[in-house]
Structure 1
Amino acid sequence: MLPPGLLETIDVAPYSKGGEGEWMSFERRKYFTNAFIIQHDKKRKRGFAKDKYNGFGGKVEEGETSAEAAVRELQEEAGITAALEYSGTMLFFSEGTDFAYHIDYYCAETYEGTITDEEMRPEWFAIPDATVAESSALPSIPFQQMWEDAEIWFPLLLAKRKFNGRGDFRLNARGESKLTKWWFGAEAER
């Protein structure tokens, strides 16, 4: 059974869940996209998720699909184009906001164009179980500098397994958002 607010966008089986208490409630959602070029993780310099490793993305504008928004954001933020493939959908709610973040994730392995440096600083990371020999000289994916839930769903994205999930974040005593309840589903392994 899916958590409240999570839409059945793909057929998934439970993959990971945790936390205690009830799901937080929200009255509305805002739609966003997040796209990853698998060989080129980036660190955001400004805006939402500042100083966290994240993909290229942003708001879905009125009148466009999430796929169109992902392509547009990739072009605006990085100056590149890619044949993005849908990877999954996540719903996040953070204490202190009046809406949930509905984020559709996309990925590509290749791109065209030259990466610009306005929003993201290109960095290379080793992909777990990579078959490319030189990847062993690269640092590991810095999960400690990503949102807490990324360690759960990012390996699914790398494995090209579609996923669906929800994460609720509460503020701790220092005012930091911490993952307190989550549910993730994934399609069967290929």
Structure 2
Amino acid sequence: MESSNADSPIDWGSWRAHTHATLMFIIKDGEILLIEKKRGLGAGKINGPGGKIDPGETPMQCAIRETQEELLITALRPKKVGELHFAMSDVPDILCHVYVARDFEGVPTETEEAKPQWFRLHDIPYRQMWSDDIHWLPLLLRDRSFLGRFTFKGEEVDWFQIEKDVFFPSGR
């Protein structure tokens, strides 16, 4: 387990997310498909496509739908690899389900929400991303699953803990 040095300021046993969301990462031919987010939470940052889960929708359905809406592509055979629990200081707390796919149908296309960008796996622009990404995205790139808990002050990580090699039942 990896963590910051201080004790958690949150009782994670009783913590409940206000918002449930997803992220999808497409990795193919030594590159990762990311987006420059054009609006909403994180506008201007580089991230994976994703968004809020709609009522009646599973996390996987949401991850596929959001990728279709933001990039006009369909992720093929996505696999859940992580969960991120975010206790935020200035927006409602978020539980994010993280998926990876190794293939897709369609052509990544810029939309009103997102501009697609391919990056070599060793050239990921962490300085343009959320400050938590550097703690867990390398695990995703090494095919390791994870459960991350983060507290934020504004847009900066204040505290974190990551459990590695977590089992997620398929379809979750």
| TM-score over 0.5 for the pair | yes
Matches within 5 A, 1:160-171: 160-171=143-154
Deviation at 1:126, TM superposition (A): 1.7
Once the two structures are superposed, residues 10-60 of structure 1 have per-residue CA deviations (whole angstroms, 9 ceiling, x without a partner) of xxxx1x200535424666421000101123222111111111110110110
Matched, 1:23 2:9: yes
Matched, 1:158 2:141: yes
CA RMSD, 1 decimal: 1.7
Matches within 5 A, 1:24-173: 24=10, 28-38=17-27, 39-83=32-76, 84-97=78-91, 99-118=92-111, 119-128=113-122, 140-171=123-154
AA matched with 2:135: I
Could you tell me whether the CA contact under 8 Å between 1:20 and 1:180 is conserved in 2? no
AA matched with 1:86: K
Deviation at 1:96, TM superposition (A): 2.5
Identity across the alignment (%): 33
SS in structure 2 of the partner of residue 183 of structure 1: strand
For the residues of structure 1 that align with 2:83 and 2:17, how far apart are their CA atoms? 16
TM-score, structure 2 as length reference: 0.84
For the residues of structure 1 that align with 2:146 and 2:49, how far apart are their CA atoms? 18
For the residues of structure 2 that align with 1:163 and 1:183, how far apart are their CA atoms? 10
For the residues of structure 2 that align with 1:157 and 1:167, how far apart are their CA atoms? 17
TM-score, structure 1 as length reference: 0.76
Could you tell me whether the CA contact under 8 Å between 2:3 and 2:160 is conserved in 1? yes
Could you tell me whether the CA contact under 8 Å between 1:94 and 1:168 is conserved in 2? yes
Gap change, CA 1:28 and 1:162, over 3 Å in 2: closer
Gap change, CA 1:75 and 1:20, over 3 Å in 2: same
SS in structure 2 of the partner of residue 63 of structure 1: coil
* Larger-gyration structure (1/2): 1
Gaps of 5+ in 2: 167-172
Could you tell me whether the CA contact under 8 Å between 1:43 and 1:52 is conserved in 2? yes
Gap change, CA 1:22 and 1:184, over 3 Å in 2: closer
